[in-house]
Chains A and B, each alone.
Chain A
Amino acid sequence: MDTFRDIRYFLVAIPILVAYGIALLFFDQFLFFSPYFTFYVSHSGDMNLILDLLLTVLTTIVLTVSIRQVLFQRTAGGGATKSGAIGIVAAILAGACPCYYLIPLLAVAGTVGGALGAAGILLDAYQIPIKLAATLILFFTAYKLNKSNTCKVKAPTRNLAQKRQQLAS
């Protein structure tokens, strides 16, 4: 959470949150721009909406922390940069989950038949389990990022003790 105390990262997080939020809500038919701007949650859409909001928040956290890791922790060693890069990939794959975006396109492709249409229908039918899996991936990534952010100082206890003995003698 230290990342968001820095105003620069807070400003990075806002467009990510807004863009992902709008995209997910639009493609899941909670937000409509045509013919009128409408926000509407159907009775069966509660779970989907909760997952969309959760995915949006988690994606924003993971992506922002990952960007910070990549850009400002290079001096901390390759591990921090690597975990940041993995975080970005995980956020894009799980949080943004391109499969949701492709559903309408696949459905159109399905109008002429083929495996793409079938894939679109399958993804649409199982979108809640897919989103739950994406949420778990993002939680795990956020946990790993937080862990890699923690400074670990290993005190050279044995050498120090030896040095003390040497000094004492």
Chain B
Amino acid sequence: MKQGSRRRFVVGVVIALIIIVALGGIGWHLITATQSTLSTTMDTSMSGGVTAADTTVSPSMSSSTAFNLTAALLSGAPTLGSPNASVTIVEFGDYQCPTCDDWFKTQESSLIQNLVNTGRAKLVWRDFDFYGPDSVSASEAAYAAGEEGKFWQFHDLLFQSQQIPNGGWASRQNLVKLAEQMGLNMTQFDVAFNSGKFDSLINSNHNLGVQAGVTQTPTFFLIGSNGKMVTIAGDQPESVFEQAVAQLAG
């Protein structure tokens, strides 16, 4: 091989490798997102009467089983907004996740104002705790507050209080302080918080997220009344949600 053609060959190989690595990474993300969407849109029939117990998902369960993922996503979780809203936005998040916090602080209020308060969509929260034990404690505390009808207030307070992940801000002692700060009935809160009764819900939420193909937090599944679904992964602007809701409702 002549020196000139060899040089061109080496340059070509280097460029090709760089492009392959970059596009491969992007492709991997897109493929996993598409697979998740496909596995859920294949089974979009809306079965009625699904209870909280139905959200328990075996981690080993494959998408080829008769499991109805869409129905599972829609049931047994705290919901904000009108039950008659045509679109349900299911958020998978972790109270210690900085990206979830950023989305909460920059986008959630606009989303609630423009989509939830107008009755166009309702917002559902599901835990996808992978940052550590403090994330699970935070989820338990939010559910314990929910027993006093203050789930969403505590959810907001957790994000407003977020600091470095696993830095102790969501330790059990600090969560009790947050509950006191919110003016909850502490006897009732302590019993619920320490009972361990939310463990199965938190675990089933996590398993459901894995089943749905969550690869990052926050991940949102927007489900229309016709069963069609749009997945929004990451810290995306509220305008994207408006566009997707319009598409699902239309």
| A residues 36-69 touching B (CB-CB < 8 Å) | 36, 38, 40, 42-45, 63, 67
Q: Known: A42-B106, A101-B25, A125-B98. Contact between A29 and B18, CB under 8 A? A: no
Looking across the interface, which residue of chain B has its beta carbon closest to that of A23? Answer: B22
Chain A residues near B98 (CB-CB < 8 A): 124-125
Looking across the interface, which residue of chain A has its beta carbon closest to that of B130? Answer: A110
Whether B240 and A35, one on each chain, are in contact in the complex, defined by CB atoms closer than 8 angstroms, is yes
- Consensus secondary structure, chain A interface: helix
B10 interface residue (CB < 8 Å to A): yes
Q: Known: A38-B240, A121-B131. Contact between A67 and B230, CB under 8 A? A: no
A16 interface residue (CB < 8 Å to B): yes
Total number of residue pairs linking A and B with CB closer than 8 Å: 100
Whether A111 and B243, one on each chain, are in contact in the complex, defined by CB atoms closer than 8 angstroms, is no
A15 interface residue (CB < 8 Å to B): yes
- Residue A35 contacts which of B10, B15, B131, B232 (CB distance < 8 angstroms)? B232
Whether A26 and B29, one on each chain, are in contact in the complex, defined by CB atoms closer than 8 angstroms, is yes
Interface size on A, residues (CB 8 A): 38
Whether B11 and A67, one on each chain, are in contact in the complex, defined by CB atoms closer than 8 angstroms, is yes
B61 interface residue (CB < 8 Å to A): no
A34 interface residue (CB < 8 Å to B): yes
Chain A residues near B209 (CB-CB < 8 A): 111
Distance (whole angstroms) from the CB of B188 to the closest CB of chain A = 32
B122 interface residue (CB < 8 Å to A): no
Whether B11 and A107, one on each chain, are in contact in the complex, defined by CB atoms closer than 8 angstroms, is no
Looking across the interface, which residue of chain B has its beta carbon closest to that of A39? Answer: B237
Interface size on B, residues (CB 8 A): 45
Chain A residues near B230 (CB-CB < 8 A): 35
Whether B231 and A34, one on each chain, are in contact in the complex, defined by CB atoms closer than 8 angstroms, is yes
Chain A residues near B237 (CB-CB < 8 A): 38, 40
| B residues 17-35 touching A (CB-CB < 8 Å) | 18-19, 21-23, 25-26, 29-30, 33-34
B215 interface residue (CB < 8 Å to A): yes
Distance (whole angstroms) from the CB of A11 to the closest CB of chain B = 9
Whether A29 and B215, one on each chain, are in contact in the complex, defined by CB atoms closer than 8 angstroms, is no
- Residue A40 contacts which of B11, B130, B236 (CB distance < 8 angstroms)? B236
Question: 22 interchain pairs (CB within 8 A)?
Answer: A19-B18, A19-B19, A23-B21, A29-B234, A29-B236, A32-B240, A34-B231, A34-B232, A35-B231, A38-B236, A40-B236, A40-B237, A42-B106, A43-B102, A44-B106, A71-B11, A88-B14, A117-B130, A121-B131, A121-B132, A124-B98, A125-B164
Chain B contact residues, CB within 8 Å of chain A: 7, 10-11, 14-15, 18-19, 21-23, 25-26, 29-30, 33-34, 98-99, 102-103, 105-106, 130-132, 164-166, 206, 209-210, 215-217, 230-237, 240, 243-244
A-B interface, 10 closest residue pairs, ranked by CB to CB distance from nearest: A23-B22, A19-B22, A29-B234, A40-B237, A71-B7, A110-B130, A19-B19, A101-B25, A35-B230, A29-B235
